[in-house]
Amino acid sequence: MTSSKNGYPASQDKGILIVLSGPSGVGKGTVCSALRECSGTDLIYSVSATTRSPRQGEVDGVNYFFKTREQFQHLIENDEMLEWAEYVGNYYGTPRKFVENTLNSGKDVILEIEVQGALQVKQKFPEGVFIFLLPPSLDELENRITGRGTESEDVIRSRMSVAIDEIKLMEHYDYALVNDRVDYACSRIQAILTAEHCRKDKVYSKIKQWLER
Ligand SMILES: Nc1ncnc2c1ncn2[C@@H]1O[C@H](COP(=O)(O)OP(=O)(O)OP(=O)(O)O)[C@@H](O)[C@H]1O
Ligand SMILES: Nc1nc2c(ncn2[C@@H]2O[C@H](COP(=O)(O)O)[C@@H](O)[C@H]2O)c(=O)[nH]1
């Protein structure tokens, strides 16, 4: 018999949709990479589309699908986006089909997105797990975004000024955790995922065949 992650029989259950948000520079990407490393093929990362220019080392189709504004507009008009938002002068969005197909195949999917987009996803997938990542302090947030060295001073200022508005919206999330250390944040998210997989309705759908004998 094939068994699923929690030791129960495999079923045709959909995967869990995890949405990870938090202000720019808090460490979403870093935590997400660490999480993917320790979760292997059990957790699939959704690659977003954006109109922002690639940073040094970023690869099209790996970090983002880099699009012109016209191409992005076309994706929206063709209903190819699960959600999209304009953030500090650029468009960002989640390709819909990849997420739906992966969830239907039973795999968990993680989206690393900003708050306006996360709220759109919540409308469409209220059963998703919404996690908000906080910095240890606002000074540390600024240190991280500045220390990354990828944004101009103007862009850093704009991103810091929307950070407070984003944090105000954390009440719409299911969980909030501090990214003090990457390994701690990663363990906390894994604990959340384990608990979500052990929700009784999830487990019940896996063992209900036992009751139908
Ligand atoms: N727990 C941590 N402690 C110290 N530094 C961290 C931690 N997590 C991430 N960083 C550093 O903070 C910087 C920003 O991290 P990262 O790029 O992952 O943030 P992000 O939230 O994905 O940003 P954005 O939303 O702009 O894409 C990076 O230089 C990263 O190495
Ligand atoms: N609504 C969405 N937001 C997204 C998506 N992909 C990334 N993001 C968020 O945008 C900001 C800026 O990202 P950066 O790579 O330019 O630093 C950050 O908060 C990302 O999480 C998306 O598909 N939809």
User: What backbone phi and psi angles, to 5 degrees, belong to 47?
Assistant: -85, 125
The answer on pLDDT for 123 being more than 60 is yes
Ligand 2 atom nearest the C-alpha of 115 is 1
Would you kindly state where each structural domain of the chain is located, as residue ranges? 10-46+108-211
Q: Report the percent of the chain where pLDDT is more than 70.
A: 94
Alpha carbons 164 and 171: distance in angstroms, whole number: 13
Q: Which residue has the higher pLDDT, 38 or 115?
A: 115
Q: Are 166 and 23 in contact (CB under 8 A)?
A: yes
The answer on pLDDT for 3 being more than 60 is no
Average pLDDT, integer, range 23-41: 92
Domain 10-46+108-211 fold is Rossmann fold (3.40.50)
pLDDT 10s digits, 131-181: 999 999 999 999 999 999 999 999 999 999 999 999 999 999 999 999 999
Q: Which residue has the higher pLDDT, 165 or 204?
A: 165
The answer on pLDDT for 80 being more than 80 is yes
The answer on pLDDT for 4 being more than 60 is no
The pLDDT assigned to 6 comes to 63
Report ipTM (2 d.p.): 0.98
Kindly state if the Cβ of 23 falls inside 6 Å of ligand 1.
Answer: no
Please name the residue whose Cα sits nearest to atom 22 of ligand 2: 93
Please name the residue whose Cα sits nearest to atom 1 of ligand 1: 181
Alpha carbons 27 and 29: distance in angstroms, whole number: 6
Q: According to the annotation, is 205 in a ligand binding site?
A: no
Kindly state if the Cβ of 23 falls inside 6 Å of ligand 2.
Answer: no
The pLDDT assigned to 13 comes to 81
Alpha carbons 39 and 66: distance in angstroms, whole number: 27
| Candidate of 17, 50, 63 to mutate for ligand 2, largest count of ligand atoms within 8 Å of Cβ | 50
Ligand 2 atom nearest the C-alpha of 151 is 17
The pLDDT assigned to 117 comes to 98
Kindly state if the Cβ of 147 falls inside 6 Å of ligand 1.
Answer: yes
Kindly state if the Cβ of 94 falls inside 6 Å of ligand 2.
Answer: yes
| pLDDT tier at 8, thresholds 50, 70, 90 | low
Cβ-based neighbour number of residue 63 at 10 Å = 15
Kindly state if the Cβ of 27 falls inside 6 Å of ligand 1.
Answer: yes
| pLDDT tier at 213, thresholds 50, 70, 90 | confident
Average pLDDT, integer, range 90-109: 96
The pLDDT assigned to 12 comes to 63
pLDDT averaged over every residue in the chain: 93
